[in-house]
């Protein structure tokens, strides 16, 4: 261990800080750098490492929260776009005299409305949902389109796959821009 009262070089103090910031215990830092745990605590307290670390974590959490909100907003835009497509399909079929609308668009509309509610924070009515809201929020618009188109193709639907990507806008996120 280092002698009492010995001043460490700034480079070594920075290395101690890095290990501390990465979550290492004072004891493990002490063993690795052969510096007394009392000395490490002294530098921690003098240099405000606890406050510095807290500030870093708070910034990281704010950034992560903003990213999650943005992903959720993009996913909601996609769901609202899909809902509009389904409603348009139902309305088009209703305008054609004698045309029969299959149950498929209505079932799809029901699913997309429930998905929209779920992404908005509402409860899901199905107990066996494979992907929780947090998992859906991580998906990009492009990933959701791929999943949607794959499901359509694998189920033999004749509906056209989604090819448009909703562009980011400065609106309020509710699709009424």
Tens-place pLDDT, residues 102-159: 667 777 777 888 787 777 777 655 544 445 556 666 777 777 777 766 766 665 556 6
Asked if the structure places residue 5 within a domain, the reply is: no
Instruction: Report the range of poorest mean pLDDT among 36-45, 49-58, 113-122.
Output: 113-122
Distance CA 141, CA 145 (A): 6
Same domain, 20 and 91: no
Model confidence band, residue 176 (pLDDT cutoffs 50, 70, 90): very low
Look at residue 114 and tell me if it is in a domain: yes
Average pLDDT over residues 60-88: 88
Count structural domains, the chain.
2
Cβ neighbours for 70, distance < 8 A, ≥ 6 positions apart: none
| Model confidence pLDDT, tens digit, residues 141-155 | 777 777 766 766 665
Long-range contacts of 107-114 (CB under 8 A, 24+ apart): 108/159, 109/83, 112/79, 112/82, 112/83, 112/86, 113/83
Q: Is residue 161 part of a domain?
A: no
Exposure b/e, 127-163, CB count within 10 A at least 16 = b:
eeeeeebeebbebebeebbeebbeebeeeeeeeeebe
User: 42 and 82 in one domain?
Assistant: no
Give the tokens for residue 73.
Answer: 């907003």
Co-location of 77 and 43 in the same domain: no
43 and 74: one domain? no
Q: What is residue 75's predicted lDDT score, i.e. its pLDDT?
A: 87
Same domain, 143 and 104: yes
What whole-number distance in Å separates Cα of residue 146 and Cα of residue 135? 16
**Is 177 in a helix, a strand, or coil?**
coil
pLDDT given for residue 136 in this prediction: 62
30 CA to centre of own chain: 37
What is the reported pLDDT for 85? 85
| Torsion sign over Cα 61, 62, 68, 72 | positive
pTM of the model: 0.42
Judged on CB neighbours under 10 Å (0-12, 13-18, 19+), 37 is middle
Quick one: tokens of 23? 């979550």
77 and 147 fall within a common domain: yes
Domain containing residue 132: 69-154
Residue of 75, 78, 76 whose CA lies nearest to 138: 75
pLDDT for residue 95: 73
Q: In angstroms, rounded to a whole number, what is the distance separating the alpha carbons of residues 26 and 42?
A: 11
- Residue 34 and residue 99 in one domain: no
């Amino acid at each position: 261990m280092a002698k009492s009262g010995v001043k460490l070089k700034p480079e070594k103090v920075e290395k101690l800080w890095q290990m501390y910031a990465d979550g290492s215990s004072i004891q493990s830092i002490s063993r690795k750098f052969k510096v007394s745990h009392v000395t490490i605590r002294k530098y921690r307290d003098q240099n405000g490492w606890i406050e510095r670390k807290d500030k870093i974590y708070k910034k990281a959490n704010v950034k992560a929260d903003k990213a999650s909100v943005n992903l959720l907003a993009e996913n909601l835009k996609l769901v609202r776009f899909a809902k509009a497509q389904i409603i348009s399909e139902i309305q088009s079929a209703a305008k054609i005299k004698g045309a029969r609308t299959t149950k498929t668009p209505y079932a799809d509309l029901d699913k997309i409305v429930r998905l929209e509610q779920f992404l908005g924070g509402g409860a899901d009515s199905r107990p066996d949902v494979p992907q929780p809201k947090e998992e859906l929020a991580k998906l990009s618009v492009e990933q959701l389109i791929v999943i949607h188109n794959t499901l359509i193709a694998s189920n033999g639907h004749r509906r056209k796959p989604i090819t448009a990507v909703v562009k980011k806008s400065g609106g309020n996120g509710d699709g009424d821009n």
